[in-house]
Amino acid sequence: MSREAGYRTLVALTGILALLLVLQITGAFRGVNDSIGSALPEGGSLTGTFTDTASFALTAVYILLFLLRDLKDRGRLSRFTLELTAGIAGSAVIVALLKVLTGVPRPGEAQVHWNLMESIKNVDYLAFPSGHTTRAAVLAYFLSRRWKALWPLWWGWALGIGLSRLLLHAHWFSDVLFALFLGPWTGLLVELTENRWLPLYNAAVRKLKLGVFGVE
């Protein structure tokens, strides 16, 4: 994808995310969320096991494995692994901020009115957007860029993670839908702003004398 096409895609995704956020804040999703939530069966242990493949802990393991492969094959961190790590970290911050700002409780939980600090402490109680689905979508974006022929596998997995969150009644439909767009948006943002943040990153790596983590 050219940079021009990347910017066009980023603008389109930004518009979609803005629209979905407005619909969420205004309560437009409430009826759809309730209908889908009541229609779906309860997921079992296999669903829980599958959804855990996008947990924060396992995502950290995936990144560690990519790093070990980089060190074995190249002797240093690859651009792919750095971008993936930045995408996962950036998306985690965005998800946490949105959870705190929107204050949407998970299905079956009561609406609460916390102050800012209480919301931050209890961020896992909040639903919008889905962290698991966002991580899966970020991974799917970068894996599809790295192994293009396997993109149906990566995105099929990400969609499956979103469905598993619904079957476990851990999230509303709008939580998952927003997350599926947030993942590629974050990935694109990381790539398109790389010329700004990568020199700062490399300067910090050189200052700390951690050359193995430098990326050219």
Per-residue pLDDT of the chain (216 residues; tens, 9 = 90+): 788 899 999 999 999 999 999 999 999 999 999 999 999 999 999 999 999 999 999 999 999 999 999 999 999 999 999 999 999 999 999 999 999 999 899 998 767 776 767 767 777 788 999 999 999 999 999 999 999 999 999 999 999 999 999 999 999 999 999 999 999 999 999 999 999 999 999 999 999 998 899 897
The DSSP secondary-structure symbol of 185 reads: H
Classify residue 92 as exposed, middle or buried by CB count within 10 Å of its CB (0-12, 13-18, 19+): middle
Instruction: Provide the pLDDT for residue 110.
Output: 67
Please give the residue range of the domain that contains residue 22. 3-213
Instruction: Provide the pLDDT for residue 114.
Output: 66
Distance CA 176, CA 164 (A): 10
Q: Are 139 and 62 in contact (CB under 8 A)?
A: yes
Instruction: Provide the pLDDT for residue 1.
Output: 72
**Non-local CB neighbours of 45 within 8 Å, separated by 6+ positions:** none
Q: Are 24 and 101 in contact (CB under 8 A)?
A: no
Phi first, then psi, for residue 126 (nearest 5°) are -95, 155
Distance CA 33, CA 52 (A): 23
What's the domain count of the chain?
Answer: 1
Residues designated catalytic? 132, 171
Instruction: Provide the pLDDT for residue 187.
Output: 98
The pTM score is 0.94
Instruction: Provide the pLDDT for residue 123.
Output: 78
Beta bridge partners of 105: 126
